[in-house]
Amino acid sequence: MGLLTKRQSDFILHYVESRNTVQSAIAAGYSKSYAKSKGHLLLKNPLIKEQITHLTESYYKEQFKELATKSIKELAGVIGDVENRGSQLRAIQYVLSQAGVVEQDEKQSGVIEIKVRLPHDLQH
């Protein structure tokens, strides 16, 4: 495979963030007429597709880590008060289940078990 041009590399970076072919091509320095009429051809280039896939995975992994870190800090403050521990833990379990990182157990008992499911690429 060949190397990417500066414009192609810039297109990839803009596309990963915006997911808009025309805007990304223009931001990368392609003419407006090229961006509108042939911008989709950039996405068909195998090397560009490969780089977009790689950077998208990295980008979202980083976004997930930042969100998880913020959430954990917020949740730590919530569970600091021990008076309503059961309600707090159920709320935390619900929030994490909605984020897709915890399996929510529908049965309620005296014990709350939180099972965290990390994306495959974050598991060691």
Secondary structure (DSSP) of 54-98: HHHHHHHHHHHHHHHHHHHHHHHHHTT-GGGHHHHHHHHHHHHHH
Task: Tell whether the model's pLDDT for residue 108 goes beyond 60.
Answer: no
| 71 occurs within a structural domain | no
Q: Give the C-alpha separation, 120 to 53, whole Å.
A: 16
| 70 occurs within a structural domain | no
| 102 occurs within a structural domain | yes
CA separation, residue 37 to residues 31, 34, 63 (Å):
10, 5, 32
| 8 occurs within a structural domain | yes
> How many domains does one find in the chain?
2
Is the whole-model pTM more than 0.85?
Answer: no
Q: Are residues 7 and 53 in the same domain?
A: yes
Q: Give the C-alpha separation, 37 to 57, whole Å.
A: 28
Task: Tell whether the model's pLDDT for residue 117 goes beyond 70.
Answer: no
CA 61 to chain centre: 5
Containing structural domain, residue 57: 1-61
Give the pLDDT of residue 12: 95
Give the pLDDT of residue 78: 63
Q: Are residues 45 and 100 in the same domain?
A: no
Q: Are residues 54 and 88 in the same domain?
A: no
Cβ–Cβ < 8 Å for 93, 78 = no
Identity of the highest mean pLDDT range in 10-14, 84-88, 94-98: 10-14
Q: Are residues 54 and 92 in the same domain?
A: no
| 66 occurs within a structural domain | no
